[in-house]
Amino acid sequence: MVAPYTAAPASAGDRADTFRVDQTRGTIMSTELTMLAWAIVLGLVHISIAAVLSVAGRGVGWAAGPRDGTPPPVGPLAARMSRASANFIETFAFFAAAVLAVMVAGKSSETTVLGAQIYFWARVAYIPAYAIAVPFLRTLVWAVSLIGLVMVLIGLFH
């Protein structure tokens, strides 16, 4: 049995271990694009967590209604998860642009691959880090995600 994905370069000069070939479809997906796809899923997870906690705190009537006026307050966890979701959306646009620019420019490298992975996994860790409210932990995880983002950007200039 052959695995559905095998490592293969997209063109001469590309690193073989940064691309995956789907043998069932014959398409190529870079690690950076794979991380971007998973980051989209993570964004939906962020929105879902924030929405569920908001509805739990404010009630279905508020969620299904026109939401006119001042919204009822939510608990600290719901408020933190709403802020975490907003923060993800702020950084995601830069991450997506950086990954797409690297792909269009043909600048995939070990640095861009590692940077994309660091960004993604740090953003995964950001959810519980923000939820548990340990001083400085959320900020440290956020900083690590930015380091990953900068690593992807550096790839454009090398």
Separation CA 147–CA 20 (nearest Å): 25
Q: Is 151 exposed, middle or buried (0-12, 13-18, 19+ CB in 10 A)?
A: buried
118-154 confidence digits (pLDDT tens): 999 999 999 999 999 998 999 999 999 999 999 999 9
Low-confidence stretches of the chain (pLDDT < 50) are 1-17
For the chain, list the strands marked E by DSSP: 5-7, 19-22, 27-30
